[in-house]
Amino acid sequence: PKFRQFSAAIDKALRSFESTSEWADLISALGKLSKVLHTYPQFPVVPKKYTIGKRLSQCTHPALPSGCHLKALEVYDLIFVRIGTTGLSSDIFIYASGLFPLMSTAAMNVRPYLLNIYEKHFLPLRHHLSPALQGLLLALLPGLEEGSEHTVRIQALLVSVCE
């Protein structure tokens, strides 16, 4: 019964994305989704993961402001903590479509949070990262701009991926 409530609450939160007309509405919808994930921490899975992945990907669109990107990254983090490395290794393709293109257009204040996601959730996948490795490498390369404050951190991430 509790899982059904969780699933219904996820559905309701996802419906709030349908009536968005500006970026502030997207942040509000992400907040509702975040609240549902916080309310039901006992489940190691996320219902409607494909729809959630699609909505999160839409929230990392380059035309949206950094506040929207940051809120989306917060929800990604909540999901990845919940599903763990086992869940992420099987669902990486669902979430990568929103995360991998973000580095090239992300504002400077978003990049540290994106790198945290990669370090905290993607590096522990080790050999399970193989199917998404090319995408991850291409995602990191735009951050290697000369003089960027994140260059050293990205280089360390690349070295860790190679190990």
- 72: its two tokens: 């989306």
Q: Could you tell me the CA-to-CA distances from 13 to 24, 58, 94, 100 in Å, in that order? A: 15, 15, 19, 24
Q: Render pLDDT for 134-151 as a digit per residue (tens, 0 to 9).
A: 999 999 998 887 777 888
Q: Does the reported pTM lie above 0.85?
A: yes
Q: Taking residues 93-107, what's their average pLDDT?
A: 95
Q: Give per-residue pLDDT as tens, 77-89.
A: 999 999 999 999 9
Asked whether residue 117 carries a pLDDT value surpassing 80, the answer given is yes
Distance CA 141, CA 1 (A): 46
